[in-house]
């Protein structure tokens, strides 16, 4: 999307520069989440544990928090530059994120219990 914004000249260069900075901050976090998605959920071999997928991704709960925050800021930068609107994000993902993390912990605990320990 940022590449398309560069090509289109829909937003002023100063705003585009700010968008690029936010994107550059978010990209490594998106890459970690992508590794986690692929290794822990979408394509995880049965012999690979979720713990090893998290280790391979090198991701922490703070990384997830930072990605959500950065993505919100990025969206607001873009929409404000395009049409002077912003998203308030009043519908927080906190509950859903905590539920997902609790499910992961439960699944991890069950995996550890059935395998006799952490790999």
| Domain layout of the chain by residue ranges | 2-90
pLDDT of res. 90: 59
Task: State phi, psi for 49 to the nearest 5 degrees.
Answer: -85, 160
Q: What is the pTM of this model?
A: 0.64
**What is the distance between the alpha carbons of residues 51 and 53, in angstroms, rounded to a whole number?**
5
Beta strands in 1-119 (DSSP E): none
List per-residue pLDDT tens for the chain, 119 residues long.
888 988 898 999 999 999 999 999 999 999 999 988 888 888 767 777 888 888 889 988 899 889 988 998 899 889 989 988 877 665 667 777 888 888 888 888 888 888 776 55
pLDDT of res. 28: 94
């Amino acid at each position: 999307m940022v590449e398309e914004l560069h090509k289109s000249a829909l937003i002023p260069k100063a705003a585009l520069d700010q968008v690029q900075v936010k994107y550059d901050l978010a990209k490594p976090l998106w890459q970690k989440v992508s590794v986690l998605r692929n290794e822990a959920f979408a394509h995880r071999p049965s012999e690979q544990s979720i713990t090893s997928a998290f280790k391979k991704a090198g991701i922490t709960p703070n990384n997830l928090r930072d990605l959500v925050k950065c993505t919100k800021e990025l969206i607001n930068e873009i929409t404000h530059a395009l049409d002077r609107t912003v998203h308030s994000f009043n519908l927080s993902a906190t509950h859903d994120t905590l539920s997902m993390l609790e499910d992961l912990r439960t699944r991890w605990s069950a995996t550890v219990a059935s395998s006799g320990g952490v790999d």
